[in-house]
Chains A and B, each alone.
Chain A
């Protein structure tokens, strides 16, 4: 047992760092540094650059175009990307639906969908939650009734993140009996967003952003060949996908970077006192909060590394991935709150345009102070999505402790 990077791993770290320095577009980097919202083009541009290098599918098997990286390499890559402020890869295609397709899809589906996901030619979104199926996801009501070579889909999906950009949606639909508790009646269906009968409407969140949507399906006819795996097995597939999603949303590398930024800003932010020890970073209560958070994150970093090491032996992440979701999101939200604390009065101004591309007005407050509260409000979602933290706790109770 040792913590050292090998010579090859150190060389890899340099290679990643040099790649990011050379290839991460300056405008995207500036946006990230200044808290400006990224556009669809920004994400796609960056993912195409990564794809060209062969580094976009870090979780895929090599045979489908994945990197085949070791846990140490993934760790190094994530940390370097966070340091440079590179955008995170959009998870829906690359990290969420692709593993389902290459694990449960047929040959034709793999050839049809995976190359476009790898090349970021297609933007995917997730059709899981419904207005009356949140944490109780299995009670979903969207139906897909088989008619010849087609399914006819009716229902509503919600919280569809960035669905306004999407070309395709992967959905959980009810193909069997109307018994709402019957998880064996759920199937996994891929649907082209341009199919007639699909309507999408934005939902505005507490930060003013139309980040999520409602997607309505009104007699939408979907070719039966878009069904993944067997009819009625969708719930089983989705659960596997959810463990991947949970592992992804821990966001350890990003939290490390945010915490580092926070410490640096606190050292430059007056505590309102005069003389020595007058910076926020000198405040004992602040120091204790930061130290406890750093320690928690350090522990989580090793929990994640151990999980990655298990996944690298070919296993799907186990129920322990619930720990990553719970602790990862708790830490993210704790950092959100500290950013608001750091901003003080300047957490109050709400000038949404200031964080959109092309803003040419007078920026209010220092750095990203005015973005701190909206980010805090928006990110309360983190402990709710991906299976709320209470659902994760239930999973630990059932799958780990046998309660």
Chain B
């Protein structure tokens, strides 16, 4: 049992932290978020040069090592800066799918350029009716000899706008909600029959709903064995869930810090807000929630590493607890700031937005409480 970061992890943390504090101030972040693509291509290249795009991957795949602890070290720092670059959607989600399900040819074609920063991918798994149930797949792919024909609708695909290729979970056999019969394929975003509606998400990121209408693909676009993809999908979503848990911890840390600082400056009734016990105790409660969130994040990351990426119970405990903390810390940061925090101008409201989006991504708080109870 060891609670300290390795030297490598400390260096990683310092390097990401330095980037956020020096190159990712609030005005720059807002400008990037509101730009045409919603992220900075320059920053993305820098991430590639610094090796950050290899963090979630095994050394065999040319990655940094792929430990869950490495991932949370990185994501906590990204969370502090409310990073909008598609590290989560492209690198973690799509990258993990290829790393876990792809053949060596597919890794060479997709994962290598992804790590070099020259390829944008997205993973389309959610559907309008599926909510958080990953086996609820109604998109169909009919495999006929050398050809696959894809039909269906995927919802809220993160990085769906920028993605040049889209990884899709599809049903190749069985009934909706069967665990068997789900497969993974990749498709060019520009292929005939692919239609995208792109939009911004509430947290300043980009996503898309995507429709597939008789999209024809070569059979070689299948990732892994037909009908056996559910384990890889679950593992990937759990990894993404861990990543956003860490991001939430970073965002909560900033929300608390900004709230405490503001309370020491803002005066009402001729005294600073920090002198009111009603507010002091609310901030102490935010601190306790954050401490519990940090603890359970470490637990989940260490369990993920111990169980080789498959620790659904530990992950659900973390996502449930951190979701609860994120709700409280986000809402309280607004309340204690007062009206100014409901304006678009102040950063605190944007931390609140990201903390909210995280609560409803990769399984809501209630979803994970129930999954914890059932496992």
Contact = CB atoms under 8 A, between A and B. Distances in A.
Interface of A: 1-5, 9, 71-72, 75, 287-288, 290-292, 294-296, 298-303, 305-306, 309, 320, 323, 326-327, 390, 393-394, 396-397, 400-403
A147 B9 CA distance: 62
Contacts of A2: 1-2, 302, 305-306
B296 A298 contact: yes
Contacts of A397: 280-281, 283-284
A396 B282 CA distance: 11
B321 A295 contact: yes
Interface in B1-44: 1-6, 9
B287 A288 contact: no
Given A295-B317, A302-B298, A71 B285 contact: no
The 6 closest A-B pairs by CB, nearest first: A302-B295, A3-B302, A291-B373, A299-B296, A299-B292, A396-B284
B369 A3 contact: no
B369 A306 contact: no
A72 B3 CA distance: 11
A371 B17 CA distance: 53
Interface string B339-375: 0000000000000000000000000000001101100
Interface in B288-323: 288, 291-293, 295-296, 298-299, 301-303, 305-306, 317, 320-321
A303 B306 contact: no
B172 interface: no
Interface in B219-266: 260, 263-264
Given A1-B9, A298-B296, A306 B3 contact: yes
A1 B5 contact: yes
Contacts of B280: 393-394, 397, 401, 403
A303 B291 contact: yes
A296 B321 contact: yes
A294 B375 CA distance: 12
Contacts of A309: 3
A323 B3 contact: no
Question: Chain B binding site: helix, strand, loop or mixed by DSSP?
Answer: helix
A1 B302 contact: yes
Contact of B288 (A292, A298, A327): A327
A89 B340 CA distance: 53
B204 to A, nearest CB: 28
Q: Size range of the interface on B?
A: 35 or more
Contact of B320 (A5, A295, A401): A295
A155 B38 CA distance: 71
A238 to B, nearest CB: 22
Given A2-B302, A72-B1, A298-B317, A306 B295 contact: yes
Interface string B259-281: 01001100000000011010011
Contact of B369 (A288, A396, A402): A288
B321 A299 contact: yes
Contacts of A390: 281
Most chain A CB within a 10 A radius of its CB, from B1, B5, B6, B306? B1
B39 to A, nearest CB: 30
B287 A3 contact: no
B217 interface: no
B66 to A, nearest CB: 15
B156 interface: no
Given A3-B305, A401-B284, 15 more contacts: A1-B3, A3-B306, A4-B306, A72-B1, A291-B373, A292-B320, A292-B369, A294-B317, A294-B372, A295-B317, A295-B372, A305-B3, A390-B281, A393-B281, A397-B283
Given A2-B1, A295-B321, A323-B288, A302 B299 contact: yes
Given A1-B4, A323-B291, A393 B285 contact: yes
Contact of A326 (B277, B288, B301): B288
Contacts of B288: 323, 326-327, 396
A35 to B, nearest CB: 27
Contacts of B285: 393
A3 B295 contact: no
Contacts of B124: none
A305 B299 CA distance: 11
Contacts of A326: 288
Nearest to A71: B1
B347 to A, nearest CB: 20
Given A1-B4, A291-B372, A400 B299 contact: no
B69 interface: yes
Nearest to B375: A291
A305 B292 contact: no
Contacts of A292: 320, 369
B295 A1 contact: no
Contacts of A394: 277, 280, 284
Contacts of B1: 2-5, 9, 71-72, 75, 305
Interface in B95-148: none
A14 B6 CA distance: 29
Contacts of B284: 393-394, 396-397, 400-401
A348 B369 CA distance: 32
A271 to B, nearest CB: 16
